[in-house]
Amino acid sequence: MNTAYLDKEHFQQHDISTRLTHLAAHLTQIQSLTSKLAPKDEIASFMRQSLHFIEWTVPSLVEIDVEQAAELVDLGRTIARWQHSWNKVCAETNSRNEIADIAGKLSERVREISAVV
């Protein structure tokens, strides 16, 4: 697990595009690990870190594009819902596959946003 960017001050020294790239990479990890039936605690850790990345990025992004910032807030809500039902999700193959699929699509969307900010 990469903990190099868990330090808020260090993370916020990066430009918004770089922060979003890190978030997209975490979403890709969630997709991959969920598909591979990795330990649920490992995936949950990436979810927590992703929520931190969103929290640390949105205030800066809102100054540039409020709509994209709102999109990130919605992404955070999605991840929080996953966390809330994570134990149940882990027991259901269809739910895991759905989260993996959504995480992949969200990663692509975050990459698109990072390319324009």
- Domain boundaries, given as residue ranges, for the chain: 16-116
Per-residue pLDDT of 47-76, as tens digits, reads: 999 999 999 999 999 999 999 999 999 999
pLDDT band at 86 (very low <50, low <70, confident <90, very high): very high
Comparing CA positions, the residue from 26, 24, 31, 29 lying closest to residue 111 is 24
Is the Cβ–Cβ distance between 23 and 112 less than 8 Å?
A: no
| Beta-carbon contacts of residue 82 (< 8 Å; ≥ 6 apart) | 47, 89, 99
pLDDT band at 1 (very low <50, low <70, confident <90, very high): very low
pTM: predicted TM-score of the whole model, two decimal places: 0.91
